[in-house]
Each structure stands twice: as structure tokens, then as C-alpha cells.
Amino acid sequence: MFAWSLRFCLALCLLSAGGLLHAAAQAIEVIDDAGRRLRLAQPAKRIISLAPHLTETLFAAGAGERVVGSVEYSNYPPAAAAIARVGSYSQIDLERVIALRPDLIIGWQSGNAAAHLDRLRALGFPVYVSQPDRIDDVASEIERLGVLAGSTEVAEPAAASFRRRLAALQTRYGERPLVPTFYQIWKQPLMTVGRRQIISDVIRLCGGENVFGSLDTMAPTVTVEAILAANPEAIVASGMGEARPEWLDDWQRWGSIKAVARNNLFFVPPDLIQRHTPRLLDGAELLCQHLETARSRRPRQ
């Protein structure tokens, strides 16, 4: 009887130890782009995304069904339109966030106010901060979001596919002659992208040179005089929608600019180049083609 009882107790202890090991194996630890270590006891099941590009990347990482809240303009993929809204990336509805009971919030470092993210942490919510500044950071983002959501079986192949496609573009355009490029975000105020903005990395990928790439500001305001002095060979605009912005043609009055003289005024849809998502490579392909067109229009020596 004693021997049976001893064997039963040993078996029970082994089962209990196995359960503890299983629970420990479920624990997740990830370092976000702000350098913060985030630890979850288990994969997140109720996620709130605080930027449209984060919503899109969560879907790419296989975690779309776990997103219970997102912000305005989270419109891709189409399924994102059905997700409850918690305000905008710049104005978060805290009451709505609390009501949705998230077990993970994904924030955007350069888009969400630091005070809003701190407030969410103070309320006890785990917050992961995203800030992909280079193209290859997108692949890492997909992988980390997959870890946090327990969807690595989707995220890892998606990240690998992204890297293969990026490598192919680097091979194709990496050694092409440089094209001085002005990227215009908006007309009034006249805004461009600085060195740390991911679009500058796309320009480099395509063999371009951002004429304002020495500026540290993410989206600096510049003057027409500065653009005339830089004399870009290509001007690329995005605007707000899928249509080419009318104000891109306003540059026609400045015929002394190489880009104007050679008709190198190009458009890339903003959702394809201004969102840090897998579709960024779609925008990169368009931009690379535009810069290749600019090269083809150079006067023959």
C-alpha cells in the first residue's frame, strides 16, 4: 500500500511539473523598438493596434483574428474594416480601449503620443512599441508580432518571403547610377522625408539619393528655394489617396529643375510607400521603376 501511494505521489508530482514546464514554455518575451522588454504569460488573444500600418502587419503575421481594436484608416486588408475603432493614432479613446479588455496593445513610437502610451501602461496594459525605420525592419516586425500573438507558423514564412523579395530588389538596383530625388509628402506645408524615415531607405534601395537625406527630422518642412538649390533629377509625390495629386504638376513652373525639364514627376500611392508593411515593397518596385525611367531620360554623352 505504501509503495503504491509513493508511486502515485511521484506520478502526481511529475504531472504537476509537466504542467509548470508547459506554462513556462508559453511565456513570451520580446524587446520592442523602444528597447523595452515586454513579457507575456501566454500569446496575446485580444490585441489593439494604434496605427493603420500596425493593423496591416498584424494580419500579415497571422494575428488578424486576434485584433479587437484599431484606429481610423485601418483599411487593409478588407477584414480590418470590421474591427472596432478606438479613435485615431493621434487621439486615442481610452474608455473604448479599456472596454475592449486587451491583453496587448501595439503602439507606434513616432505616431502615438508618448503620454498616451505611458497612460496605457499605467492602466496595466502591456504595450509593445513599433518603429521600423529601415525596410528590413518590417520583416523583423512581422516575426516579433507573430511571437506575441502565437502565430509564428504564419509570421516566419511571411518574413522570409519579404526578405527574399527585398534581396532581389537590392540585387537588381543596388549598383545603378545614383538619381538625386526629392520626395514630396505634401504641398502646404511643403514637406519631405529626412534621413531616418523609411522612405529614405526605399530611395537608397532603388539607387536614388534623397536630396534632403542629411536632415534628422522625420518629415521636415522645406522651401521651394531649397529644392531649386538641390536641383533633383526626380520628384516623387504621394499625396493622400490613390490618385496622382494635382499639385505635383505645380512644379512645371520651375523649368530649371532637372526633374521638370526631363518630365521626371512621378507618383507612388501613399499606402504602398508610407506604411511600414509588407506592401512597402510594392511601393519600392514602383519607385525603382520611376528612377529607372529617370535614368533612361538622361542626355546621351
Which is it for the CA torsion 216, 87, 121, 129, positive or negative?
negative
In tens, the pLDDT along 206-227 reads 999 999 999 989 899 999 999 9
Please tell me the pTM assigned to this model: 0.87
Please state the rounded mean pLDDT for residues 240-265.
Answer: 93
Predicted pLDDT at 1: 41
Rounded Cα gap, residues 239 and 236, in angstroms? 10
- The C-alpha cell that represents 281 in the structure block: 515593397
pLDDT > 90: what percent of the chain? 83
CA-wise closest residue to 283 among 50, 33, 78, 53: 53
Predicted pLDDT at 242: 80
Predicted pLDDT at 90: 85
Q: In the predicted model, is pLDDT for residue 42 greater than 90?
A: yes
Q: Which of 20-34, 141-155, 183-197 has the lowest mean pLDDT?
A: 20-34
Rounded Cα gap, residues 258 and 275, in angstroms? 29
Q: Is the peptide bond before 245 cis (omega within 30 degrees of 0)?
A: no
Q: In the predicted model, is pLDDT for residue 16 greater than 60?
A: no
- The C-alpha cell that represents 29 in the structure block: 518575451
pLDDT-based confidence at residue 19 (cuts at 50, 70, 90) = very low
Q: Is the peptide bond before 189 cis (omega within 30 degrees of 0)?
A: yes
| Full set of structural domains in the chain with CATH | 11-158 (3.40.50.1980), 176-296 (3.40.50.1980)
Q: In the predicted model, is pLDDT for residue 15 greater than 70?
A: no
Q: Check if the beta carbon of residue 14 is closer than 8 Å to that of residue 69.
A: no
Please state the rounded mean pLDDT for residues 159-177.
Answer: 96
Please state the rounded mean pLDDT for residues 20-38.
Answer: 74
pLDDT-based confidence at residue 26 (cuts at 50, 70, 90) = low
Rounded Cα gap, residues 67 and 291, in angstroms? 38
Residue 167 burial (CB count, 10 A): 12
